[in-house]
Amino acid sequence: MGLRLPSKVLEHILSFIDSNEDRNSVSLVCKSWFETERKTRKRVFVGNCYAVSPAAVAKRFPEMRSLTLKGKPHFADYNLVPDGWGGYAWPWIEAMAAKCPSLEEIRLKRMVVTDECLEKIAASFKDFEVLVLTSCEGFSTDGIAAIAATCRNLRVLELRECIVEDLGGDWLSYFPETSTSLVSLDFSCLDSEVKISDLERLVSRSPNLKSLKLNPAVTLDGLVSLLRRAPQLTELGTGSFAAQLKPEAFSKLSEAFSNCKQLQSLSGLWDVLPEYLPALYSVCPGLTSLNLSYATVRMPDLVELLRRCSKLQKLWVMDLIEDKGLEAVASYCKELQELRVFPSAPDLDEANIPLTEQGLVFVSKGCRKLESVLYFCVQFTNAALLTIARKRPNLKCFRLCVIEPFAPDYKTNEPLDKGFKAIAEGCKDLRRLSVSGLLSDKAFKYIGKHAKKVRMLSIAFAGDSDLMLHHLLSGCESLKKLEIRDCPFGDTALLEHAAKLETMRSLWMSSCFVSFGACKILSQKMPRLNVEVIDEHPPETRPESSPVERIYIYRTVAGPRMDTPEFVWTIHKNPEIGVSHLAIK
């Protein structure tokens, strides 16, 4: 019998371990370590809200202070998951309210949150401090008002790209006059105008306010007034910049910005007129993060701004920056770590090309610290990908969206296999990869073989056959999330690698050739996978070999969920029962 660490000692050691991955490993060592770990874990992360039941989580981690949950699959962002699929926050809020009343922080992503949920949070957690909702929906400004009114120690309230039923700007006035604890407020996704005087007073009495992200309804005058009251801001999301340019407005704005000596992050800038950009020049040298992705400003004006941002680490911009603009970024923004270039014309039929693969090549060559890329471009070449891989082996996240489906290397007419092979082989630390353009099964052979650390892989309009999925599921040792749309394969590879699916968080496949029969077999073979068929038409009315519209497969210890809508078909583990909805009315 070996030495056993006294649990007090172990507790002390564990207090230094924050990362959930490490704590998960610790909990697997032995029973006593499991017990000590679970009683001391404060920050709980659940990547798929259906992988485990709220009650089980509440029971396991009684000292929970912070809960992070994710709901819908990532492709829900692109309207591929029908409304009503699920991802309800309520069962979690209810369970935590009962078992973990000391909960202080809740962060939810892609979940359905109702006003009832928000009211419950406000009523149940006395020390509640942080609410961050990302890409959530289902609530109104009334729910926000409840949080504002009741949570006396509220530090963080962030609504990031949520779909909110906006009943007006009154919610802001619900922050009591005694509330002075605010550190971060983000209401950029709301439409309605808030009373500027309420906001001014709130900002004035919040000395710890570091991050403020306004909605487009806040005018330039409002912005100036707020900046005057909060020169200590480190993060700012502006309101609308659409006011007519008046000389006094410009100088007031300039002055207000120049007093914000600690500003590091700037976003918003909706409708910004290029004439206003010089007002920002004073903060540029200190900026580490700049989100210009809603600013329809042309390349010359963008360059004038960016050449002053020598400390920039994160840049989000639209393709209006053009190759030339990115060349400038490559020479001025030497600290750049993350680049995202979004399309200014998201509709396929309106694409005109101010930006090519050359832009990304410039940045890859010039910015040594570049490790995260999201790039939308009409077409690409293998040569560019090879250069990028060679110059930037330190890439951790590479998401290339060649907007034209099935577009080959436009110079050689070959598939982009070689290019992505170079990326997979060269970038050994790659954690996230999105591929696009014309790709054969070979590309996936390389990816399967070399992309050892890739955890999340997104694929669209690619491959030739089942071999593609076979390569991926037999390789990609670290794969946790795989999402695929419009690829020509189905059953064979899926069934062959069923065991692999239990090592992953989830697999999404839509508009592929997965048959209902294969889904049934998979579900019955793998007790700890939920196999959800998301299809408008009942799968039973079609032959078993017919393909289903979408499948979402995820590992779970909670069994099939009970809240599926009509169009989600859970395949029962018992072959005699067949397909069911298991919906509670």
* Pair of tokens at residue 385: 């990908």
First to last CA, the chain: 54
Minimum distance of other proteins from residue 348's CB (angstroms)? 4
Identity of the amino acid at 201: R
Q: Is 78 in the site for other proteins (CB under 8 A)?
A: yes
Which residues 511-570 are close enough to bind other proteins by CB under 8 A? 511, 537, 542-543, 545-547, 549
Residue whose C-alpha is closest to residue 299's, from 324, 271, 334, 336: 324
Site membership for other proteins, residue 174 (CB under 8 A): no
For the chain, the residue count is 585
Q: What is the per-residue binding string for other proteins in 390-429, x denoting contact by CB under 8 A?
A: -----------x-x-xxxx----xxx--------------
By CB under 8 A, how many residues form the interface with other proteins?
Answer: 52
Q: How far is the CB of 264 from other proteins (least distance, A)?
A: 23
Tokens of 325: 């603009």
Q: Which is nearer to other proteins, 164 or 361 (CB)?
A: 164
Query: Using CB under 8 A, which of the segments 125-133, 331-339, 433-441, 519-527 binds other proteins?
Result: 433-441
> Per rule CB under 8 A, is residue 352 in the interface with other proteins?
no
Q: Let me know the angle formed at the C-alpha of 91 by 60 and 175, rounded to the nearest 5 degrees.
A: 105
Q: How far apart are CA 76 and CA 70, in angstroms?
A: 12
Dihedral sign for Cα 47, 52, 55, 58, please.
negative
Closest to other proteins by CB, 235 or 409: 409
How far apart CA 140 and CA 144 sit, in angstroms, is: 7
Q: Which residue among 343, 359, 426, 539 contacts other proteins (CB under 8 A)?
A: 343
Residue 144 · residue 119 · CB < 8 Å: no
Amino acid occupying residue 469: L
Does 496 engage in binding with other proteins (CB under 8 A)? no
346 touches other proteins by CB under 8 A: yes
Read off the tokens for 185. 């407020």
**Strands, E, within 406-525: which ranges?**
432-435, 456-460, 481-485, 506-510
Q: According to the binding rule CB under 8 A, does residue 136 interact with other proteins?
A: no
Taking residues 180 to 199 in sequence order and writing x for each that binds other proteins by CB under 8 A, - otherwise, the string is: ---------x----------
318 phi, psi to nearest 5 deg: -95, 170
Cα–Cα distance for residue pair 395/382, rounded to 1 Å: 17
Q: How far is the CB of 508 from other proteins (least distance, A)?
A: 12
Q: Does 342 bind other proteins (CB under 8 A)?
A: yes
| Encoded tokens for 1 | 């019998």
Q: Does 345 bind other proteins (CB under 8 A)?
A: yes
Mapping DSSP to helix (H, G, I), strand (E, B) and coil, where does residue 460 land?
strand
Token pair 């270039």 in the structure block, residue: 341
Binder to other proteins among 259, 291, 440, 524 (CB under 8 A)?
440
Give yes or no for residue 344 binding other proteins (CB under 8 A).
yes
Q: Where on the chain is the footprint of other proteins (CB under 8 A)?
A: 75, 77-80, 135, 161, 163, 189, 270-271, 293-294, 296, 342-349, 376, 401, 403, 405-408, 413-415, 438, 440-442, 458, 460-461, 464-465, 485-486, 488, 511, 537, 542-543, 545-547, 549
